A and B are shown apart, each in its own frame.
Chain A
Amino acid sequence: MTPLDDTGAGGRPARTRGARRLTEHRLFWPAAVLAVLLLGNLALTHDFFAVRVQNGHLYGSLIDILQFGAPLILVSLGMTLVIATRGIDLSVGSTVAIAGALACEHIATAKDPGSLSTVLTAIALAVGVAAAIGLLNGFLVARLGVQPIVATLVLMVAGRGVAQLITDGQIISVSSSAYKMIGGGYWLTLPFAVLLAAVLVAVTSLVTRRTALGMLVESVGGNPVASRLVGIRAAGLLVMVYVVSAVCAAVAGLMISSNVSSADGNNAGLWIELDAILAVVIGGTALTGGRFSLGGTVLGALVIQTLSTTIYTLGVPPETTLVFKALVVIVVCLAQSPVFRARLSRRRRPAAPDPAPAAGDPAARRQEVHS
């Protein structure tokens, strides 16, 4: 998969122009990968696309992918905004664990675990604490100017300890039908988690794309110096994206813990930050910040979930998914690397001018801009 490798060629016949426009659309490659994965599954299991109705609920492999992918979609959603500002949020996995632990602890110790008010308080508690986590990350990044990877590393390390502190090292089980609804329930025949994720994705894209907010985020990530010179206040925006990321992670944590009706401080959301970063990168948002694509991220998250499902269907040990993920990361990153693309196109047209120094030059120039 080497997308955009022929962009420099030019002078194509008019007939292929439509196809080119299609392949150059930013959602084309994630969508194509998803389609290939799904079709591959169809070849393996013939009733893969079958969706049947049972007890008024929709069932089927596709629905499963959506339902199990919903938490990842949410975490990736917040991560997209953070990455668009040239940041990274490594603490989302811990936030997932903390949110689940807080909510389950609250429900398990409440007098009436089934009541709606208990569940709502639990949700408010989890989301509130997550917002505080986001504020802390945002403060470190925006006010103190700490590198995002380091700032969020603190909570990545400490957060899981905090989650275990809340659950006292145990796995807390809850029996609350109202809480079960979030991650395991159905509404209008669809899994509630899918609807919730869809609503949050829709709200986020409305807020970022119908207002100037999205553009401001992109400008802060694309060129911090220029955006400061035109008078954009980066600090507030940075804090905002980290808070959004943490809140998204908290909702994902509620989903995960609700789906299994228990909170596991040790394993809930383990490595989800890596999956989320992967989803964002597959979705076409560059790790160097700037333009982001929420639609691409959703597709990216679905690609990862489908990949996991495929591995299960293939019958190979599910742990080997990691190897495939590694290969996907490398391929996607190489495809996004300007140097790699330049080399590739140079190889195709050996007569092209401007040889060796081109590899070094852009890096040097780019660094001078940053420093």
Chain B
Amino acid sequence: MSTTLTKPLQRFSARHAARLPLMVTATLLVAMFSVGSLQYEGFFSAQVLLNVLIDNGFLLVVAIGTTFVILTGGIDLSVGSMVALSTMLTAWLVEQNGLPLAAAVPVVLLVGAGGGALMGWVIHAFEIQPFIVTLAGMFLARGLCYMISTESISITDPTTTTIAQTRVLLPGGLFVSPAVVIALVVLALAFVVLHHTRFGRTVYALGGNESSARLMGLPVGRTKVMVYAVSGLCSALGGLLLTFYMLSGYALHAVGMELDAIAAAVIGGTLLTGGSGFVLGTALGVTVLGLIQTIISFQGTLSSWWTRIVIGGLLFVFILLQRLFGGSRTEH
């Protein structure tokens, strides 16, 4: 519809188009950190950056799953609820049923992956829009939380609390939580899977053009189901990490996290129409979101709702960027 506006810009850099939002994000990250360091005392330290990761490790894992789905041109609105369900399920299994944590973790991960696969199957088999299917999944997961308990279940299990309090020491007196290590491992795995496996290639092909992918004989259905299963698995794992972070299970945990995850992917340069994006960009996106929170808390006078406004504003800017550079897909 807006061909006149976007044409010259596209011609300018068809090759760099996909990387541009990523570069903008990286620049933004450096700029935000510099401004923060100049503005606030004690901001310029590696630990501040590591704290961003500690506070957002679970979001990183969830956003990685979301990136898979968005790359295929789909969307998963159920991740926030799935995170809440995982915290609830873990707390319920460990605290009220006396299951050891080692037994609860596989159950939770299985529920997440299974739920995701089920949604993917419905989306593929019945050709219903991913949006509405995952919306149903969102309702269902949140409702199941309430069926387990409407109250928050706090966790006192010694294994869980020990893990929650463990600090992984780094050289220079720095430290991270085990959750950060897990998140980074997931990030590395996702990178390898997306860029160096057949499955990853199919994910990109599917998002690029589903009809072409099908005509090329790629396993469209299987990939779709798997992508939603990956998203579900990541949400469940993110939920476990959040359980360690919060040490409780609650149905109102992670309300709106699907938005944060989508925002992180978009800010990280993943095209919402699918087919183009980087999982490392998503990591940058999560860091940007985390830095916004950090800056707002350092500022002190700004209230927490500014976070949402700034994230919304950033989302707006990046969506505009996507339209201006390389987002020509929906036009013809």
Contact = CB atoms under 8 A, between A and B. Distances in A.
B309 A165 contact: yes
Nearest to A164: B305
B308 A157 contact: yes
A292 to B, nearest CB: 16
A371 B332 CA distance: 6
Contact of A329 (B135, B209, B214): B135
B211 A326 contact: no
Interface stretch (A4-12, A35-43, A140-148, A189-197): A140-148
Contact of B211 (A143, A157, A364): A364
Nearest to B272: A150
Nearest to B210: A367
B131 interface: yes
A322 B146 contact: yes
Contacts of A255: none
Interface stretch (A47-55, A173-181, A335-343): A335-343
A155 interface: yes
B196 to A, nearest CB: 29
A325 B259 contact: no
B263 interface: yes
A334 B128 contact: yes
B256 to A, nearest CB: 8
B312 A159 contact: yes
Contacts of A320: 143, 146-147
A323 interface: yes
Interface residues of A, number: 60
Contact of B307 (A144, A161, A317): A161
Interface string A117-128: 000000000000
B125 A165 contact: no
Interface in A345-371: 359-360, 362-364, 367-368, 371
Given A153-B262, A322-B143, A143 B303 contact: no
A319 B315 contact: no
A236 B211 CA distance: 31
Interface string B142-181: 1110110010000000000000000000000000000000
A317 B150 contact: yes
B136 interface: yes
A145 B211 contact: no
Contacts of A60: none
A274 interface: yes
Contacts of B251: 319
Contacts of A324: 143
Given A147-B272, A158-B308, A169-B305, A364 B2 contact: no
A162 B309 contact: yes
For A150, A330, A360, A364, which residue has the most chain B Cβ atoms within 10 angstroms?
Answer: A330
Contacts of A143: 1-2
Given A150-B272, A151-B319, A154-B319, A322 B139 contact: yes
B244 to A, nearest CB: 25
A326 B272 CA distance: 25
B269 to A, nearest CB: 14
Given A161-B306, A330-B122, A337-B127, A154 B135 contact: no
A110 interface: no
B331 interface: yes
Interface size class of B (residues with CB under 8 A): 35 or more
8 contacts: A144-B2, A150-B319, A157-B315, A322-B140, A323-B140, A326-B143, A329-B139, A330-B136
Interface string A219-238: 00000000000000011000
B299 interface: no
B132 interface: yes
A215 interface: no
A281 interface: yes
Q: Is the interface of A mostly helix, strand, loop or mixed?
A: helix
A203 to B, nearest CB: 29
B311 interface: yes
A151 to B, nearest CB: 7
Interface of A: 88, 140, 142-147, 149-151, 153-162, 164-165, 168-169, 234-235, 265, 274, 277, 281, 287-288, 317, 319-327, 329-330, 333-334, 336-340, 359-360, 362-364, 367-368, 371
Nearest to B260: A157
Contact of B259 (A140, A157, A169, A319): A157
Contact of B308 (A161, A287, A338): A161
Given A145-B2, A322-B146, A340 B323 contact: no
B321 to A, nearest CB: 11
Nearest to B149: A317
B45 interface: no
Interface in B65-109: 75
A62 to B, nearest CB: 26
B140 A140 contact: no
A287 B135 CA distance: 13
Contacts of A368: 211
Given A145-B331, A322-B142, A329 B312 contact: no
B1 to A, nearest CB: 5
For B128, B138, B150, B251, which residue has the most chain A Cβ atoms within 10 angstroms?
Answer: B128
Given A323-B140, A364-B214, A371-B332, A161 B312 contact: yes
For B266, B273, B316, which residue has the most chain A Cβ atoms within 10 angstroms?
Answer: B316
Contact of B146 (A142, A265, A317, A364): A317
Contact of B140 (A155, A156, A326, A340): A326
B27 interface: no
Nearest to A286: B129
A64 B320 CA distance: 44
Interface in B108-131: 122, 125-129, 131
Contacts of A319: 142-143, 146, 150, 251
A367 B211 contact: yes
B42 interface: no
B219 interface: no
For A145, A155, A274, which residue has the most chain B Cβ atoms within 10 angstroms?
Answer: A145
